[in-house]
Amino acid sequence: MSAHWLNAPDSPLPRPGRSPSGRDRGFDIGTRLASGPGLGRTGVIHTAHGQIRTPAFIPVGTKADVKALVPEMVADLGAQAVLANAYHLYLQPGSDLVDEAGGLGRFMNWPGPTYTDSGGFQVLSLGAGFKKVLSQEFSGAVDSSDPRVRMQAVKASNAVVDDDGVVFRSHIDGTRHRFTPEVSMGIQHELGSDIMFAFDELTSLLHPRSYQESSLERTHAWARRCLREHARLTGIRTHRPYQQLWGVIQGAQYEDLRRRAARTMAAMDEDGARFDGFGVGGALEKENLGTIVSWVCEELGEDRPRHLLGISEPDDFFRAVEAGADTFDCVNPSRVARNAAIYSPDGRFNITNSRFKRDFSPMVDECGCYTCTHYTAAYVHHLFKAKEILASTLATIHNEWFTVRLVDAIRSSIDDGDYESFRDDTLGRYQAGRRKAARS
């Protein structure tokens, strides 16, 4: 079965930095998808630094770089935008320095659209010691229905979160800091991203419903403050292009909370200031991902784009696109690449496996990425075994290419009217490969 999408020629996307429409905001719907709940669509997001054709995967450049790659490589693999992290760039080198350099794009030599997250996830997970709670949740090491576990999660939150903001310590030097909605907006305005997110509170599936409810109210109060501060800073910083502000939808696994959050954020208006788009965040169980995203998108309406934070697995993309998500980001393609894990149409494999030692074919036969068209599996295997830095670069090029191209192919299949067959063929092959690998 062919995976021609992995070796397809570049689609006629505008190169990063070009904005054919001249628009700095707005969303145009292209083809609507009838599959699933009927919420999927293709479209175009307009930003001050160019268009983003959706659905699209946005590679993560946490500290103003996609690890192991230069921005020119990121553009060559087909990425339309990159996402950086407000928490990390605030701590080092400082958002004021990035502002002085001309903004994130100019600082990192990326001419296209940029996203920044609010820092909310990292403030709590890294700076406030909440990572232990998240690790327990995702590892399944604890019983999330245990009242004692739930109280532990609540106590961890109450120690650092109040109605004004979050107190945390730098993971770099231990210095004490405080993020509020206004601080997050100030940092993101200095970073100069085209799309930024409102400051929200991170919760986990370990938190009881009572805490999820109070946290949701806090996140909505913070969202209103973000809108007001965003409007104020936009009025002051007229020397910079317009930056879009997207609201974040929380509510964990509860349908009524997710729907309420989506309705509230969609209707939110602070003296004429409204969100330009939305992010779907918070605790999501993988098996319920499509259902939860569909709850949210049914309430948001069609006029603004929707970003799903932190996913990159093939089956998740198809579920999320059908449920109405337009863009995605995740560190996983580059993170697993640095650990020698390689994506392919037949599942994921580890290039350090002994079977690749004398394999002088490409890592993935049907792949058109720079690595697979220039280097052999044996060479990349050698680089990892020798602990050479180039190993991370070559593996990351491939994984980001695979991920970006897969979502591009989903978009094309919707426009071409053959989405269902593409989905079934792609996932059937990928899952069969995973099952075969698990048996071997």
pTM for the predicted model, two decimal places: 0.94
Task: Judge residue 439's burial from the number of C-beta atoms within 10 Å of its C-beta, 0-12 exposed, 13-18 middle, 19 or more buried.
Answer: exposed
How many other C-beta atoms can be found within 10 angstroms of the C-beta atom of residue 428?
11
Query: Which pLDDT does position 131 carry in this prediction?
Result: 57
CA distance 16 to 129: 37
Domains identified in the chain and CATH numbers = 60-283 (3.20.20.105)
Query: Which pLDDT does position 127 carry in this prediction?
Result: 55
Query: Which pLDDT does position 1 carry in this prediction?
Result: 47
- Provide φ and ψ at 271, rounded to 5°: 55, 45
Can you say how many angstroms the Cα of residue 314 is from the centroid of all Cα atoms in its chain? 14
Show the CA angle centred on residue 305, arms to residues 412 and 80, nearest 5°.
Answer: 55
Pair of tokens at residue 238? 């007229």
The amino acid sitting at 120 is G
- Stretches in the chain below the pLDDT threshold 70: 1, 10-21, 124-144, 159, 440
Query: Which pLDDT does position 20 carry in this prediction?
Result: 59
Q: Could you tell me which residues are beta bridge partners of residue 178?
A: 167
Condensed to tens digits (0 to 9), the pLDDT of residues 367-397 reads 999 999 999 999 999 999 999 999 999 999 9
Are 62 and 345 within 8 A, CB to CB?
no
Query: Which pLDDT does position 141 carry in this prediction?
Result: 59
3-state DSSP percent of the chain in helix, strand and coil, to 5 = 45, 15, 35
Condensed to tens digits (0 to 9), the pLDDT of residues 72-101 reads 999 999 999 999 999 999 999 999 999 999
Query: Which pLDDT does position 168 carry in this prediction?
Result: 86
Report the C-alpha dihedral over residues 71, 62, 330, 228, rounded to 10 degrees.
-110
How many helices, marked H, and strands, marked E, lie in the chain?
A: 17, 15
Catalytic positions, written as ranges:
117, 329
Q: Could you tell me which residues are beta bridge partners of residue 60?
A: 83
Query: Which pLDDT does position 10 carry in this prediction?
Result: 67
- Provide φ and ψ at 401, rounded to 5°: -60, -50
Query: Which pLDDT does position 304 carry in this prediction?
Result: 98
